[in-house]
A and B are shown apart, each in its own frame.
Chain A
Amino acid sequence: MLRVEQTADSCVKCNICNTVCPVSAVTDLFPGPKYEGPQGQRFRAGLDGDASPDYSLDYCSGCGLCTQACPEGVMVAEINQVAREKLVRSRGGLRLRDKLVCRPTLMARLARPVAPLANLALANPAVRWLLEKVMGVHRKAPMPRFSVMTFRSWARSHRPPTDPARTVAYFHGCATQEYEPEVGAALVRVLERSGVRVTYPKQYCCGLPLISNGDFDAARRFATRQMASLEGAARDPGVIVANSTSCGMTLKAKYRELLGMEDERTANVSRAVYDICEYLADLADEGALDTSFRPLSAKAIYHPQCQLMAHGAGMPALDLLALVPELKVELSVVGCCGMAGTYGTKVEKYDIAMDVGDGLWEQARTTRPDFIVCDSETCRWFIAKATGLPVYHPVQVLDRAYRA
């Protein structure tokens, strides 16, 4: 039994988790984290571990707000994820749609040779209609655009600083690599501004989509290769920064909690992982961050991604954004935008996801910010689609403020 499953013992049935679940708030199909997690768990522990009757479990988005709110330390969302894996296994594995959306690197590799065409196709309503019917990907779900140039090819042609005060390794993740190299470029520039050199260890998809969808075996294969790849960087330079709070959370905690990887190498790598804003905020605390930001006269909403909260380091981006003169930042009113990784792309869940984020869409309508800031990529795409506003990673704002 994984440690997360053991935490079900601590549940006192108080319903606090039910007050924060954004999915059960908007749909009858999901009975809530208490039912699904520690309560249902007691009925899954028997002989028939392979036969899971949980239809409703599929609607858990994995946002983790329940785990955060629980006063007893029950890891509700993680218990659900473990149960989902058993459910998937009992049904013979993932369906094709889920297999594909879980492998962004694979999809990118297939599409890159024809990136402009692929992007065009995915923007075509007829193609999207077909995709929905055949694959179950909602026609309105935001699809990122394949970048012609990958991040690593940008990095290869980027000249590093010659006399750095310190060095960090960079876990860029699939999204930066395939879809948003500009985020990675901004991160590198921001770090270099404070005398930090960036290295790019060989890395793989963090495997979170596979974990969230319930294919732990495949995720474990990625994770094992990953740890082997990153163990050097964990030793030297000893800090691995990640800009995706989802990837960061996965590397920090999910291999251990969900895949049961409790070896020393995994522990060493996990300890070395920092969210980029966490790292920059620590630099600022030490007085080592270049704070010569030019004024950015703008109004923004900061949406702390649900999985950012799972880092346990608060909202360091807020501290950083506060250093930019004239920038007014308002905190998002919702705990989860609804996208929850790949959840919001699915035809049966898209409407739920849109309902979950409704408070934020409303806030954007009334506040009328110039842009929205969010640490996680799939959330950025979803929020951009829903609000029509530009959405940036915090380092992009800092980068802009340095150069304004």
Chain B
Amino acid sequence: MRTDVIVVGAGPAGLAAAAALAEAGRQVRVIARGNGFTHWSPGAVDVLARAGGEPVDRPLDGISRLPERHPYRLLGDEVLRRAIDGFQRFVAAAGLAYEGSLDQSRRQVTALGTLRPTCLVPAPAARPLAGRVAVVGFAGFRDFSPTLCARGLRDAGHQTSVHTVELPTWKHERNFTAIDLARAIDDAGFRGRLADGLGRATRDAEVAVVPAVLGLATRHEAWADLERRTGTALIEAALVPPSIPGVRLYAVWLARLRELGVRVQLGFPVTGVEVADGAVTAVVSEGASRPIVTRCKEVVLATGGVAGRGIEARRDGSLVETVAGLPVRGFPERVDYLADRFLDDHPLGAAGVVVDAGLRPLDTAGEPALRGLRCVGGLLADHDPTAEGSREGVALATATRAAERLAAVPV
């Protein structure tokens, strides 16, 4: 099999890179072992939420204080600006508008009643928390406790009331998850009946916080419709995985990739590359009965760090990049991977491949390791997407840079 560019990985970095490369005129195929962080992340675009443990008010200011080796510093602000700009236009056109800007951090309400710092939030999470806040759960939906959420919001100084709304009759009386509920809310009839109960619960409030399950295929329409029907501003609170706002974003990326003729193949990991004269000539992926070799001109690794299995943390303490064996800076002992306390930062989260400004992976001497190979997203060294809240920002910025460098037509 043969193609032009292969992107390995289908998380935010992989999808963004595939779309950007296809828009830049390349023919792209995505091969991934499975879904990725789109389904786990709360659907926002984190650019730089915290530095040194403290919330960052202006992402751009925070970035200027990051170490030189940080991906944002390597790439420069311009790329990030263009990436964020491009993202906002793309999602808005797809009916999934995001609010916010690089100049100002914002807070996203979570199911625990905490307010996570982030940069861009999808419209259903963007209403301001002001006035009387009704915190509304859905009966039988175990991944949102209005009591717990309300308590957290009260601690932050808000005036809250707690409600539980019964769901209209549907096929999932006893057993359902966020995704089932979101699909049900896509249906106008179900949604209309739900709106009655929701409206009653939110009657005396200026704004209501609900779990992030307001529709899936209908993008933000269901949320907008429920706001109209209830006459109340609605805020979707971020939940544990699976993240419905994340899956919405995944769906629009997938649709865009489909439009661009990009094939996405899930279920089998890429296990290696073929190299000739110091350049990558093909990727080798697992097939049902034999390895599948797909020849290509360029490979973009978007395999994530340890969390994405782009890097394997071995029992003997070594760290191995799982596709091309690129060098990964290690630790003296296995126990150095992790902090003593769970909620502290874990060094393993920042493990990655060192790259140059063109995202080419470098060998231990600081020279590009292999031609025809670029790295994007969480796979990069010198940043911890969770600890500093930068996952989507790095994904988008690196995707944009990769597309610039590999464009068939100048961008």
Contacts and interface: CB of A to CB of B under 8 A. Distances in A.
Nearest to A309: B267
Contacts of B289: 251-253, 256, 270-271, 273
Contacts, number: 105
Interface in A22-59: 24-28, 31-32
- Overall SS of chain B's interface: loop
A79 to B, nearest CB: 15
Contact of B34 (A26, A70, A252, A331): A70
Interface stretch (A12-20, A110-118, A121-129, A364-372): A12-20
B40 A313 contact: no
A28 B175 contact: yes
A9 interface: no
Nearest to A21: B179
A27 B285 CA distance: 35
Interface string A240-270: 0000000001011100100000000000001
Interface residues on A, range: 35 or more
B35 interface: yes
Contacts of B171: 26-28
A35 to B, nearest CB: 9
Interface in B278-312: 285-290, 292, 308-309
A121 B172 CA distance: 38
A315 B40 CA distance: 27
Interface residues of B, number: 38
A364 B266 CA distance: 25
Contacts of A271: 289-290
A318 interface: yes
- Overall SS of chain A's interface: helix
Interface string B27-69: 0010001111001100000000000000000000000000000
Interface in A264-297: 270-271, 273, 281-282, 285
B1 A16 contact: no
B241 A69 contact: no
Interface in B158-217: 171-177, 179-180, 183
Given A18-B177, A20-B35, A31-B175, 13 more contacts: A14-B241, A25-B179, A25-B180, A68-B34, A70-B33, A70-B34, A71-B33, A281-B1, A309-B266, A312-B267, A312-B287, A313-B292, A331-B258
Interface of B: 1-2, 29, 33-36, 39-40, 171-177, 179-180, 183, 241-242, 247, 258, 263, 265-269, 285-290, 292, 308-309
Interface of A: 14-16, 18-20, 24-28, 31-32, 67-73, 249, 251-253, 256, 270-271, 273, 281-282, 285, 309-316, 318, 331
